[in-house]
Amino acid sequence: MIERNHLFASNKLDYVRGKRPDVPCILCAVRDRNPEVANLEVYRDQDFLISLNLYPYNPGHLMIVPLRHVEWPDELTDQEALHLHHLQKKCLKIIRQIYPAGGFNLGYNLGEIGGGSIAHLHMHIVPRYRNEHGFMATLAHTHIVVEDPHLMQEKFQKAFENTP
């Protein structure tokens, strides 16, 4: 018998049930700073924005989002792909400055079958911590992110301003 603990998070449940802002693309709305959409952006340049995840797996869970609406990594130009990799390195450096992450999960959930819920490319950078049991254990047991997302946003904005 598998025992599972459940944490009721009403805002995530509403999202899963489809109660979302009425916008064609949630990440384009974040890009456009639509006031109807929660925005936890911490960095922006000419090609990408970096945001905290509104429903993080762990403290410091970032997403790198191209400003241009694309759905698949192979739609990025070679220059955008290189720039994305540079931003990935910067995110890892900054997360390690702020949190005691011992590891990371990096990647995409592409297409509905691949677990994607947003048809706008975004790379997840999920810090992992020593007291965790691993990816499957995190999904199977109650996991609470205890830091206020707006406080995390302030920390990351300052770190991005001060990190070359």
What is the C-alpha to C-alpha distance for residues 157 and 97, in angstroms, rounded to an integer? 13
Report pLDDT digits (tens) over 61-94.
999 999 999 999 999 999 999 999 999 999 999 9
Q: Is 6 a catalytic residue?
A: no
Residue of 112 and 50 predicted with greater confidence = 50
In the chain, how many domains are there?
A: 1
pLDDT band at 127 (very low <50, low <70, confident <90, very high): very high
What pLDDT does 164 receive? 84
What pLDDT does 8 receive? 38
Assigned domain for 2 exists? no
What pLDDT does 149 receive? 82
For range 15-43, the mean pLDDT: 88
Out of 122, 141, 143, 150, the active site residue is 122
pLDDT band at 152 (very low <50, low <70, confident <90, very high): confident
Assigned domain for 21 exists? yes
Assigned domain for 161 exists? no
Q: Which residues are annotated as a binding site?
A: 53, 124
Name the least confident of 10-19, 58-67, 153-162.
10-19
| Rg, C-alpha atoms of the chain | 16
Is the pLDDT assigned to residue 14 strictly greater than 80? no
Look up the CATH number of the domain holding residue 55.
Answer: 3.30.428.10
Assigned domain for 3 exists? no
Assigned domain for 5 exists? no
Assigned domain for 162 exists? no
pLDDT band at 146 (very low <50, low <70, confident <90, very high): low
Assigned domain for 28 exists? yes
Phi/psi at 117 (5° precision): -115, -5
Residues in contact with 81: Cβ distance below 8 Å, sequence separation at least 6, in sequence order: 73
What pLDDT does 110 receive? 93
Q: Which residues are annotated as a binding site for substrate?
A: 53, 124
**78-98 and 149-162 helices, crossing angle to 10°:** 110
- Domain residues for the domain of 34 are 10-156
Assigned domain for 1 exists? no
Report pLDDT digits (tens) over 53-63.
988 888 999 99
